Amino acid sequence: MADYYPLIARAVTGLILNKEEKRLELYERARAALVARLSALDPPLDEISRTKERLALEEAFRRVEAAVVTAAEHGLSFSEFDRQAQIVDALGSLADALDQQSFGARMELTAAGVLRFVTTASPADQAVAADPIIRRMHADMRSRCAALNDRSTRLLRHAQWAGLVRAVEILSALLAPPVAETAARIGSIWCLTLCLRAYIERSEDARWHAHGMDEPSDAEVMRAVKDFVYVAGPWVRRFPGGRSLDSDVGTWTDSPGDVEPAATLLGRAERAGLLSGDDAEIISIALDASRGDSVPAGRARCWVSGTIGNIGIVLVQALVDLAKRKIGTAGSGFTGTAETAQAIENVVLSGRDELVKSLSPLAHGIEVDTLRDAFAKLAPATASG
């Protein structure tokens, strides 16, 4: 027995005038078409099966009429109501099953509709920040990073080292406040320190193998980078948040090697105005640092995959929350402006392929085909992602 609702809903959406008499005319045509189709079957269906098909069609009419009434109650056109209901039906179960992963940066969507890293330091991290030894190490790191920041501008003549230069600049800003405030961004500091390690390996590879893809970096600058990482690495790992990332990234074995889907999804979110500032730059730096075969580059790829997968999770959950609110099936969840809602919808629908690839390692217990089918049920985005 077929489900005729999607077909009838699509036909009603296409009516120039969605008036009751026009819908009734459409229903009559659908009845006649079904009778003709059933009559043409060879071998023919038995009477019980034909009756079930006709009743299924009538149920589709009933559901459409109920949806028309509900849409009007919420000030929506039927087409918009059906679209939002379609989102809830296709992605609702998936949104409930997805949990952000610890091997990437946890993400949140602000009331203003901006994605950002979750930065609240745990009580354990704050306790470490109060340690006098940690404070002295922080002061040493801050001075080393400031000096490195001055030197690293020498690398700007080579485009492939722009990520390293920017990593040092952001680290300088993150280390500038008192250590108690710095502890709240320990995840970002961990990531950028990892990226510096990946750049060190890239520089060594370029210097010794001369494969032509990268030019060796300035030797004096790289010595300063190594000196900074030598101090920063142990300091970051003194914090439970830093150790946790180190452990989770190190033990995660299913991180995809190809980060192109992640990079594409990141670009869509940035162009839609959903992600910007230092957090967006840190992800871009990690994408750049992940290019290569070194251990730090592989760990950076893992972190990027987890982080952009978490972005996808937040966007899917927000899209479902917004759709539920519009059709009156939920009273809580993310609330945002119409512009933000449209931006989220565009990114999710235009980035369906990238979302399937980014979410598949994170959606434990959900088959890739199930993910793909969920997104395939949705109509394409109405605007460019």
- 152: domain range? 126-250+279-292
Residue 302 resides in a domain: no
Residue 210 has pLDDT above 80, yes or no: no
Q: Examine the fold and report which residue of 11, 39, 73 is the final residue of a domain before the chain moves on.
A: 73
Residue 214 has pLDDT above 60, yes or no: no
Residue 175 resides in a domain: yes
* Tokens of residue 122, six digits: 């745990």
Residue 163 has pLDDT above 70, yes or no: yes
Report pLDDT for 249: 86
Q: Are residues 189 and 283 in the same domain?
A: yes
Q: Are residues 161 and 61 in the same domain?
A: no
Q: Are residues 285 and 205 in the same domain?
A: yes
Q: Are residues 285 and 156 in the same domain?
A: yes
Task: Give the separation between CA 354 and CA 362, rounded to whole angstroms.
Answer: 13
Q: Examine the fold and report which residue of 73, 92, 114 is the final residue of a domain before the chain moves on.
A: 73
User: Number of folded domains in the chain?
Assistant: 2
Q: Are residues 149 and 14 in the same domain?
A: no
In sequence order, the 6+-apart residues with CB closer than 8 A to the CB of 289 are 163, 167, 194, 195, 198, 199, 202, 296, 297, 300
Report pLDDT for 251: 67
Binned at pLDDT 50, 70 and 90, residue 385 comes out as very low
Q: Are residues 156 and 230 in the same domain?
A: yes
Q: Are residues 233 and 139 in the same domain?
A: yes
Calculate mean pLDDT across residues 176-190: 92
Whose CA is closest to 98, among 367, 363, 373?
363
Q: Determine how β-strand 115-117 pairs with β-strand 107-109.
A: antiparallel
Report pLDDT for 268: 94
Residue 169 has pLDDT above 60, yes or no: yes
* Segment among 1-15, 19-33, 304-318 with least mean pLDDT: 1-15
Average pLDDT, the chain: 86
In sequence order, the 6+-apart residues with CB closer than 8 A to the CB of 253 are none
Task: Give the separation between CA 183 and CA 124, rounded to whole angstroms.
Answer: 10
State how far the alpha carbon of 257 is from the alpha carbons of 240, 290, 291, 364, in Å. 27, 10, 10, 19
Q: Are residues 60 and 168 in the same domain?
A: no
Report pLDDT for 153: 74
Calculate mean pLDDT across residues 35-57: 92
Q: Are residues 68 and 135 in the same domain?
A: no
Q: Examine the fold and report which residue of 239, 269, 292 is the final residue of a domain before the chain moves on.
A: 292
Task: Give the separation between CA 279 and CA 262, rounded to whole angstroms.
Answer: 15
Residue 19 resides in a domain: yes
318-376: per-residue pLDDT in tens? 999 988 888 877 655 666 778 888 899 899 989 988 998 888 877 777 778 888 888 88
- pTM, 2 dp: 0.85
220-271: per-residue pLDDT in tens? 788 888 989 999 999 999 999 999 998 888 766 555 557 888 899 999 999 9
Q: Are residues 175 and 285 in the same domain?
A: yes
Residue 215 has pLDDT above 70, yes or no: no
212: left (phi over 0), alpha (psi -120 to 50) or beta: left
Residue 383 has pLDDT above 50, yes or no: no
Report pLDDT for 216: 53
The tally of CA atoms less than 13 A away on the side-chain side of residue 101 is 28
pLDDT above 90 covers a percentage of the chain that reads 47
In the chain, what is the straight-line distance between the N-terminal and C-terminal CA atoms, in Å?
37
Residue 272 resides in a domain: no
Residue 209 resides in a domain: yes
Residue 65 resides in a domain: yes
Residue 375 resides in a domain: no
Residue 354 resides in a domain: no
Secondary element (H or E) of residue 103: none
100-147: per-residue pLDDT in tens? 988 899 999 988 889 999 987 789 999 999 999 999 999 999 988 888
Q: Are residues 154 and 246 in the same domain?
A: yes
* Tokens of residue 286, six digits: 């990690």
Q: Are residues 167 and 243 in the same domain?
A: yes
Three-state SS string over 197-249 comes to HHHHHHHHHHHHHCCCCCCCCCHHHHHHHHHHHHHHHHHHHCCHHHHHHHHHH
